[in-house]
């Protein structure tokens, strides 16, 4: 996974529960990477899954309309 960001980065702020931040910090430490790198990887993978699910849902709706 672990793609390095290319181009300009945009700052987004989110509030995380302490438990999620602790898990994020731990995995970043174990992998020897920054929390920012881990967050970008997770967002990238999450968006990929959501996009795939949206395409599938659209196909299913189109098939149901026939």
Averaged over 51-63, what is the pLDDT? 95
Predicted pLDDT of residue 39: 97
pLDDT by residue (tens digit) across 3-33?
565 689 999 999 999 999 999 999 999 999 9
Which pLDDT does position 7 carry in this prediction? Answer: 82
Burial 5-19 (b: 16+ CB within 10 A, else e): eeeeeeeeeeeeeee
Calculate Rg over the CA atoms of the chain.
16
User: CA–CA distance from 42 to each of 1, 12, 18, 24, 33 (Å)?
Assistant: 9, 14, 17, 10, 13
Q: What is the predicted pLDDT for the residue at 18?
A: 98
Helices (H), the chain: 18-31, 35-65
pLDDT tens digit sequence for 36-48:
999 999 999 999 9
């Amino acid at each position: 996974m672990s793609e390095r960001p290319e181009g300009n980065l945009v700052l987004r702020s989110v509030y995380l529960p302490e438990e999620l931040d602790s898990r994020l910090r731990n995995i970043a430490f174990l992998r020897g990477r920054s929390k920012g790198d881990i967050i970008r990887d997770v967002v990238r993978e999450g968006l990929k899954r959501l996009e795939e699910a949206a395409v599938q849902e659209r196909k299913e709706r189109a098939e149901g309309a026939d």
